[in-house]
Amino acid sequence: MPKWFLAFLVSLLVLCAPPVWPQSQIPPRQETLVVTGEPEAVPADEVDRAVTVMDTRTDPELYRSSADYLFLDPSVDLQQRAPNGVQGDLTIRGATFDQTLVLVNGFRVNDAQTGHHNLDVPLPDDALQHLEILRGAGSTLYGSDALGGVVNFLAVPPAVSELRVGAGGGSFGSNLQHASATYAGRKLSEQASFARDSSTGFIPGRDYRDLMFGSTTRVKSRLGDSSILLGYGDRPFGASQFYGPYDSWERTKAWLATLSQQLGQRMEFDLGYRRHTDNFILLRDDPAVYANNHVTESWQAALRRHQALWQSATFFYGAEGYRDSIVSNNLGRHARNRGAAYADFDVRALRRFAFTAGVREEVYGNYHGEFSPGANAGVWLSSRLKLRAGVNHAFRLPTYTELYYSDPATLGNATLLPETAWSYEGGAEWQAPAGIAAAVTVFNRRERNGIDYERSSPAGVWQAANIDRINLTGVEVALRAPQIRGQQLQIAYTAMQGRQDIPAGLMTEYSGNYPSQNAVFSWQGTLPGKVVGRSRMGGLRRPVEGTYMLWDAGVMRSIGRISPYLQVSNLTNTSYWDIVGVTMPGRSLTAGMDVVIARKASH
């Protein structure tokens, strides 16, 4: 028996003080609405796709950042270079980070320069209420980049008016503060939030300072709801060893502004703007040696409409437009425009059958186009057993880095073709009378013209290239125990195996570095003394980095309006890396307190 698996089992037995997990993999039977992966919001038990829903407002003191929530889904791989998502690469179902689409309230935040910046979400965690993770292809609804899946960060109107502040600190000189002010009225709601997180670094050259501001506004009028979101993020961080044996430094900034306007009950207009800057210095103490400066901007607009055909069938359709541009001392000046039209037919009958079929045509460049159809269905064999299946097409345009980047170790390729994929899956969900729930999904993704970097020797230059074929097959299994005395336990496991057709003697940089196995055990519940706790243990095996296990835990207690907390990361002090050569921190502790200064029920 592998040592990591034995440690996993021993730790599981030690933790079984019977253990609420945020909704993940198998949502409890309640009226939770899911908006990702469907043309409009539907109850969780009617979703025809593999979607994980997480409520980030339930005991947030137990989680340091949104990255802690993402770690709860074993189909998600967060390849970090530093804790809390600082320069973290997000992948789903063995895809590369460029093949994962990140949204904020349905607006794209993927960076046209490189997928390394897709987690630069310029909002404090206090501004978020839910995370939704769609596993599998999503280009029919969302366009380019959604080959492996989609992560949607959701900010919804506040339920109460309150003023909340918090502060904490801990290992490696970490220091964090946050504040949030909300107003919940009948026709107007507003949330303004701020967060700061800094560390002197667990080793020299790995310090960071995060600063975030966010504002979400919702106004009700005769025309319909108006939603405005504003976000700003500033992340300077020591990047020692990130890109080779250099004491590097990097600073990214992101701005996001979105508007969603209902036009009556059947139509909506969306407009979004994102700006991102990336300043990279190879040698921190001598910036003149080598530096890259990139500025990307993107605009997106959409007009969406739906029409009820009969009681159980709805037709959705719309048009979207995108423009992204870059100004860079390395990549040059470039811009591209894209336009798309889509249509989707949705049927839901008698809570026994659901079917969704859609098509999307996206045009870019000199009238090049990508056609992305998709179909998903679900059927309830009984009130407790549901079967679902789907087939979906996806595609991705190359990033500007893949097309034009050049340094002594890496070369882009301006002749790259877009990569395409077909994604197939089938699964079953079962709810037992005693509260036990289980789910299993089998999936397969077949890529053509996959984009990666190739070289013939460890000393060679990485060259961006299209890989003719990449096939990946996997299985996802999850089991949730019945909730007993406020305790809940869940075990989830994902395994994958892939094959890529590349010439003999060549090696690839990213497409083969997915976790072949990932197991997660999680518990959340109430302990003696009205203490709320949570624990997450994960065992992960990578083809290159090997196998390791991580154990994170947290406890908090609400005393009136005061909530002190303690969080422990990497409790077993495991030595590991997610990116070859980039060492991650050992055991760390963070302690702090959140205080609700004022609270008033909604109007």
| Mean pLDDT across 361-377 | 90
For residue 73 the two structure tokens come to: 């889904």
Other CB atoms within 10 Å distance of the CB of residue 409? 13
Task: Determine phi and psi for 402, rounding to 5 degrees.
Answer: -65, -30
pLDDT one-digit tens code per residue, 193-207: 999 999 999 999 999
Q: Determine the Cα–Cα distance for residues 147 and 392; give it in Å rounded to an integer.
A: 9
pLDDT at 287: 94
Q: Are 62 and 524 in contact (CB under 8 A)?
A: yes
pLDDT at 603: 54
**CATH number assigned to the domain comprising residue 543:** 2.40.170.20
Q: Give the CA radius of gyration of the chain.
A: 23
| Mean pLDDT across 448-475 | 93
Percentage helix, strand, coil, to 5, in the chain?
10, 55, 35
Check residue 487 and report its DSSP letter.
B
Residues in contact with 254: Cβ distance below 8 Å, sequence separation at least 6, in sequence order: 109, 117, 120, 121, 122, 231, 232, 233, 274, 275, 276, 277
For residue 94 the two structure tokens come to: 């063995």
Which residue's structure tokens are 């083809």?
543
Q: Compare 157 and 356 and report the one with higher pLDDT.
A: 356
Residues in contact with 469: Cβ distance below 8 Å, sequence separation at least 6, in sequence order: 446, 447, 448, 450, 500, 501
Percent of the chain with pLDDT over 90: 70
**Residue 158: HSE in the Cβ half-sphere, 13 Å Cα cutoff:** 27
Which residue's structure tokens are 């909506």?
268
Q: How confident is the model at residue 491 (pLDDT cuts 50, 70, 90)?
A: very high
- 9 has a pLDDT exceeding 70: no
Candidate ranges 37-46, 54-63, 293-302; pick with highest mean pLDDT: 293-302
Residues in contact with 176: Cβ distance below 8 Å, sequence separation at least 6, in sequence order: 167, 168, 169, 195, 196, 197, 198, 590, 592
Residue among 99, 91, 90, 89 at smallest CA distance from 137? 99
Q: Determine the Cα–Cα distance for residues 138 and 144; give it in Å rounded to an integer.
A: 9
Q: Determine the Cα–Cα distance for residues 401 and 417; give it in Å rounded to an integer.
A: 14
Residue among 336, 317, 311 at smallest CA distance from 326? 336
Q: Determine the Cα–Cα distance for residues 318 and 305; give it in Å rounded to an integer.
A: 6
pLDDT one-digit tens code per residue, 399-436: 999 999 998 889 999 999 999 999 999 999 998 877 88
The verdict on pTM exceeding 0.85 is yes
**Pairs from 11-18 (Cβ < 8 Å, separation ≥ 24):** 11/521, 11/537, 11/549, 11/551, 12/521, 12/537, 15/521, 15/523, 15/535, 15/537, 16/489, 16/523, 17/487, 17/525, 17/527, 18/481, 18/484, 18/485, 18/487, 18/489, 18/525
Q: What is the mean pLDDT of the chain?
A: 89
To the nearest 10°, the Cα dihedral for 576, 579, 583, 589? -70
- 594 has a pLDDT exceeding 50: yes
- 483 has a pLDDT exceeding 90: no
Count of structural domains, the chain: 1
* Burial of 134 from C-beta contacts in 10 A (0-12 / 13-18 / 19+): buried
| Mean pLDDT across 441-462 | 93
pLDDT one-digit tens code per residue, 65-114: 888 999 999 999 988 887 777 778 889 999 999 999 999 999 999 999 99
Domain ranges, residue 180: 3-601
pLDDT at 432: 83
Q: Are 117 and 109 in contact (CB under 8 A)?
A: no
Q: Determine the Cα–Cα distance for residues 438 and 570; give it in Å rounded to an integer.
A: 28
| Mean pLDDT across 142-167 | 93
Residue among 321, 349, 351 at smallest CA distance from 336? 321
Give the 3-state secondary structure of residue 62: helix
Can you list the positions of beta strands (E) in 138-221? 149-154, 160-170, 174-184, 188-199, 208-219
Q: Are 296 and 325 in contact (CB under 8 A)?
A: yes
Q: Determine the Cα–Cα distance for residues 467 and 498; give it in Å rounded to an integer.
A: 13
pLDDT one-digit tens code per residue, 528-573: 989 999 999 999 998 777 789 999 999 999 999 999 999 999 999 9
| Mean pLDDT across 164-191 | 94
pLDDT at 602: 60
